[in-house]
Amino acid sequence: MTDTESRLEQLERILEISRELASTVSWEPLLHKIVEAAAELTDSEDTAILLLNEQTGDLRFVTANAMVDHLVDIPVPIEGSIAGAAWSSGEPVIIRDARTDPRHFKEVDQQTDRETRSLLAVPLQSKEHRIGVLEAENKRGDGGFTQDDVNTMTVLAAQATVAIDNARLVDALQQAHDELEHRVEERTAELSTTNITLKKEITERQRAEASLRLYTEELEARNKELDAFAETVAHDLKNPLNIMLGFALTLPNKWEDLATDDIQNYLHIIAKTVAKMDNIIEELLLFASTREKVQTTPVDMGSVVDEVQGRLKYMIAEYKGEILIPDEWPSALGYGPWIEEVWVNYINNALKYGGKPPRVELGADPATSDGMVRFWVRDNGPGIPEEDQSRLFAPFTQLHQIRAKGHGLGLSIVHRIMNKLDGDVGLESTVGQGSVFSFFLPSAP
């Protein structure tokens, strides 16, 4: 099996594990699945999950492949441990020989009568929300953990963080429900002779059950989104992986028979495919980040657009595009990093699907009576048929069913960002006359 085939098989296993985690909301089974998956994917002797104890300010083991009973009572300090270093930095820490690393917290080995050699610690986090650390210990064969192990554990840790948050939510809801049930039973016994009070208790219980239903629906929606995320990764990453696999298998067998130009062309296609995969992964990471809440502030749109031009300068040069930008921008409320991604998506599409060469005009309209500012990107492309326009901004959960030509993932993220920022999106297009993609933000006071 080639490295590419092995990596493809591992990606498919990660997707399978992600679906299993998304469907597991019971606390103990979920933690067990996570450490089992980590051990399998990294080929390590032992794995463990440490979560932050907010009361004591240290990390505590909540599960491990082995000897968990000896670990649960051992507090692991943030300062003076490898797990703490990963938690503090928010970055993976890979140690080839923990025995010589001064950060190694040796009390764990002493309490469990074992020896930690190689160690990989990855933070459990979603954007800036950090809840603990996922560890893999002692790579089998003593070869030491690799960058592939780091990448695999990082993807698994991201999925595990969402799953753990979901399990905590379900557990909290169940505890609240059980507590409320207990209170209702006590009150019913005490006030059984008072009909008015009994009715109040029944009403309280009904409201609590209604709240529980709403929370359950929210949880189901988040799980559906996770399933859609997994299907989109499988759909959008598998095709370029197959392309690279085909060329990687062809080149070694036909290398001596191919002309230099053909070899360079093959390598160019592989490089472009890698770049496409990198872009898809960046978009998926951005989509994941939009789960968080942000504080909106007045956006310096001129600086944001300058940053976007810097990011797209090679693409602008490749397509020989002309970018027209106004001297001044109206002020609006938003979140700079997300707004930058909206401009990148719009301008990227205008360059790829515009005229030859593309002429891309950026602009904005002053706030209207409803207090919204309109920003827009106009291209000189062939236009978009009316029957396709309504599909472009499809919700992310529909992308595995609706694949709009070339636009689907990016524009669904634009739509999600605008919803998070209390804004909106718009499209005006006539076949043969180009298109104008818009987004709307609240005017800054």
Residue 1: how many other CB atoms lie within 10 Å: 8
Residue 216 belongs to some domain of the structure: no
Residue 162 belongs to some domain of the structure: yes
* Domain boundary, last residue among 137, 170, 203: 170
Question: What CATH number is given to the structural domain containing 65?
Answer: 3.30.450.40
Please write the tens of the pLDDT for every residue from 92-134. Answer: 999 999 888 999 988 888 877 788 899 999 999 987 689 999 9
Do 307 and 166 have their domain in common?
no
> With 50 as the cut, is the pLDDT of residue 401 above it?
no
Residue 222 belongs to some domain of the structure: no
* Domain boundary, last residue among 102, 136, 170: 170
Residues 89/98/54/50 CA torsion (nearest 10 deg): 110
* 436, β-bridge pairs: 378, 428
Strand blocks (E) in 328-430: 333-334, 359-365, 372-378, 424-429
Residue 278 belongs to some domain of the structure: no
Residue 80: how many other CB atoms lie within 10 Å: 12
Please write the tens of the pLDDT for every residue from 228-258. Answer: 555 555 545 555 666 677 777 777 777 777 7
End-to-end CA distance of the chain: 61
* 377, β-bridge pairs: 362, 437
Please write the tens of the pLDDT for every residue from 150-185. Answer: 998 888 888 888 888 888 888 777 787 888 888 878
Cβ proximity of 392 and 384 under 8 Å: yes
Do 161 and 302 have their domain in common?
no
The single-letter DSSP state of residue 332 is B
Q: Which residues of 381-400 are buried (b: 16+ CB within 10 A; e: fewer)?
A: bebbeeeeeebbbbebbebb
- What whole-number distance in Å separates Cα of residue 290 and Cα of residue 288? 5
Tokens of 10: 């591992």
> With 80 as the cut, is the pLDDT of residue 318 above it?
yes
- What whole-number distance in Å separates Cα of residue 34 and Cα of residue 26? 12
Domain residues for 37? 3-170
The SS3 assignment for 438 reads: strand
Do 11 and 157 have their domain in common?
yes
Share of the chain above pLDDT 70, in %: 81
Residue 26: how many other CB atoms lie within 10 Å: 12
Residue 376 belongs to some domain of the structure: yes
Residue 323: how many other CB atoms lie within 10 Å: 19
Cβ proximity of 407 and 392 under 8 Å: yes
- What whole-number distance in Å separates Cα of residue 308 and Cα of residue 311? 5
Do 10 and 150 have their domain in common?
yes
Mean pLDDT of 273-302: 70
Tokens of 121: 């610690």
**Residue found by looking up tokens 């309490």 in the block:** 111
Task: Between 78 and 211, name the one with better pLDDT.
Answer: 78
Residue 323 belongs to some domain of the structure: yes
Q: What is the model's pLDDT at position 276?
A: 59
Residue 195 belongs to some domain of the structure: no
> With 70 as the cut, is the pLDDT of residue 408 above it?
no
* Domain boundary, last residue among 170, 199, 214: 170
- What whole-number distance in Å separates Cα of residue 92 and Cα of residue 96? 13
Question: What CATH number is given to the structural domain containing 311?
Answer: 3.30.565.10
Q: What is the model's pLDDT at position 201?
A: 81
Count of structural domains within the chain: 2
Tokens of 242: 């197959």
Q: Which residues of 246-255 are buried (b: 16+ CB within 10 A; e: fewer)?
A: eeeeeeeeee
Mean pLDDT of 262-285: 68
Tokens of 54: 């907010």
* 116, β-bridge pairs: none
**Residue found by looking up tokens 């507090």 in the block:** 75
